[in-house]
C-alpha cells in the first residue's frame, strides 16, 4: 500500500471483477441497438475516467467508438467548485448514436448533470452513465447512473485514474487519501 493511502477500499482484483460485470451488462443492454444498425459511442470524461474506460471498453463485446472530453470542476482543490468548464470537446459526432458516458466518480453530480444536459442538445439516440464510484453523500440533484461500479464513503479517494493534484492516478487500487496530504 502507498504511504499516502489511509485505507484501500477496492483492490485491483475487486475492480477487475466489477468492471467485467459492468461490461457484460452493457453488452447485453446494447446488443439489440447494434442489431438494429445503431452506433454506440463510449466517451471518457478526462482525465480521471481514462483508466476506467480503457478497462470497461475492453469488457464490452460490441462494436463501439471511443471519444474523449475534458472538463474541469475541481482544479487542485479537494472540494467541488460547482463550476464545470469544457476544456476539450468530443472529436466525433454523437447525433443519432447511443452515448455511454464513462465517469470516474460521482460526488455532487454537478459535473455529470451539466454534461448530460449539454450533450442532449447534440441529439444522440440515448445517453447513459457508467460510473466507477458514487460517493455516499446527500445530493441537491439526483444523478441517473445506469452502470455503477461501487458506492464509496464520503472521503477523498485516489487511484485507478482518480487524482489529487494530478498524483496517484496510476495506483492500481482505489484508496482513501490521508487527510494530512490535502489539508
Ligand atoms: P462532482 O461534480 O461533484 O460530481 O465531481 C465530480 C468530479 O470531481 C469527478 O469527475 C472527479 O474528477 C472529482 N472528484 C470528486 N470526488 C473525488 C475524490 O474523492 N477523489 C478524486 N477526484 C474526485
Ligand atoms: Mg474528474
In this prediction, residue 142 carries a pLDDT of 87
Ligand 2 ion local residues (Cβ < 5 A): 48
Atom of ligand 1 nearest to the CA of 143: 4
Answer whether 160 contacts ligand 1 (Cβ < 6 A). no
The answer to whether 5 touches 180, Cβ cutoff 8 Å, is no
Catalytic status, residue 107? yes
* 50-58 and 12-35 helices, crossing angle to 10°: 60
The answer to whether 66 touches 91, Cβ cutoff 8 Å, is no
Q: What angle do CA 181, 154, 132 make, to 5 degrees?
A: 95
Report which bound ligand comes closest to the CA of 158: 1
Grid coordinates standing for 165?
Answer: 493534484
Answer whether 113 contacts ligand 1 (Cβ < 6 A). no
For the chain, 183 residues long, the average pLDDT of each consecutive 10-residue run is: 95 98 98 98 96 98 97 62 80 98 94 90 98 94 94 97 97 97 90
Q: What angle do CA 133, 23, 66 make, to 5 degrees?
A: 85
In this prediction, residue 83 carries a pLDDT of 62
What is the Cα 8 distance to its own chain's centre? 19
In this prediction, residue 97 carries a pLDDT of 98
CA 68 to each of CA 12, 72, 79, 91, 120: distance values in angstroms, whole numbers, following the listed order = 24, 13, 24, 7, 16
In this prediction, residue 125 carries a pLDDT of 98
Amino acid at each position: 500500500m502507498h504511504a499516502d493511502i489511509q485505507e484501500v477500499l477496492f483492490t485491483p482484483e475487486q475492480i477487475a471483477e466489477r468492471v467485467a460485470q459492468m461490461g457484460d451488462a452493457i453488452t447485453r443492454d446494447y446488443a439489440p441497438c447494434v442489431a438494429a444498425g445503431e452506433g454506440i459511442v463510449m466517451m471518457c470524461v478526462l482525465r480521471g475516467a481514462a483508466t476506467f474506460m480503457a478497462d470497461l471498453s475492453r469488457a464490452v463485446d460490441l462494436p463501439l467508438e471511443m471519444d474523449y472530453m475534458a472538463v474541469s470542476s475541481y482544479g487542485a482543490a479537494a472540494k467541488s467548485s460547482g463550476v464545470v468548464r469544457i476544456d476539450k470537446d468530443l472529436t466525433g459526432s454523437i447525433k443519432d448514436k447511443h452515448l455511454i458516458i464513462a465517469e470516474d466518480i460521482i460526488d455532487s453530480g454537478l459535473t455529470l448533470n451539466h454534461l448530460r444536459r449539454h450533450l442532449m442538445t447534440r441529439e444522440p439516440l440515448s445517453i447513459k452513465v457508467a460510473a466507477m464510484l458514487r460517493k455516499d453523500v446527500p445530493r441537491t440533484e439526483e444523478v441517473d447512473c445506469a452502470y455503477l461500479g461501487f458506492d464509496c464513503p464520503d472521503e477523498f479517494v485516489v487511484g485507478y485514474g482518480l487524482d489529487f493534484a494530478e498524483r496517484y492516478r496510476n495506483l492500481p487500487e482505489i484508496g482513501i487519501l490521508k487527510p494530512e496530504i490535502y489539508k
